[in-house]
Structure 1
Amino acid sequence: MNQCTGLLFLPPPDHVARLATPDRPMEAGYVLCELGEGHGGVHAGALWDDDANDGAVWACWDGDRRCLAGLPWCPATTGGGDACGLFAGHPAGHSWEVVDPTQEAVLAHLEREHPHPWRRQDGAG
Structure 2
Amino acid sequence: MNKCTAVLRFDPPDRVVALFASVHRLESRHLLCELGEDHGDDHAAMLWDEGGRPGSAVWARWAGKNLRLASLGWCSALTPDEEACGLFGGHPSAHAWDVTDPTLEALRQELAKGLSDLFPEYGEGHES
TM-score normalized by structure 2? Answer: 0.81
Map 1:91-106 to 2 at 5 A: 91-106=92-107
Which is helix-richer, 1 or 2?
Answer: 2
- 3-state secondary structure, aligned to 1:57: strand
1:72 to 2:68 alignment:
no
The structure 1 segments of at least 4 consecutive aligned residues displaced by more than 6 Å after TM superposition are: none
2:50 alignment partner AA? D
2:112 touches 2:118 (CA, 8 Å); kept in 1? no
2:74 touches 2:88 (CA, 8 Å); kept in 1? yes
- 3-state secondary structure, aligned to 1:106: helix
Larger Rg: 1
Percent sequence identity over aligned pairs: 47
RMSD, aligned CA: 2.5
What is aligned with 1:59?
Answer: 60
Where structure 2 has 5 or more consecutive residues not aligned to the other structure, the ranges are: none
TM-score normalized by structure 1? Answer: 0.82
Aligned partners of 2:76 and 2:101: how far apart in 1? Answer: 22
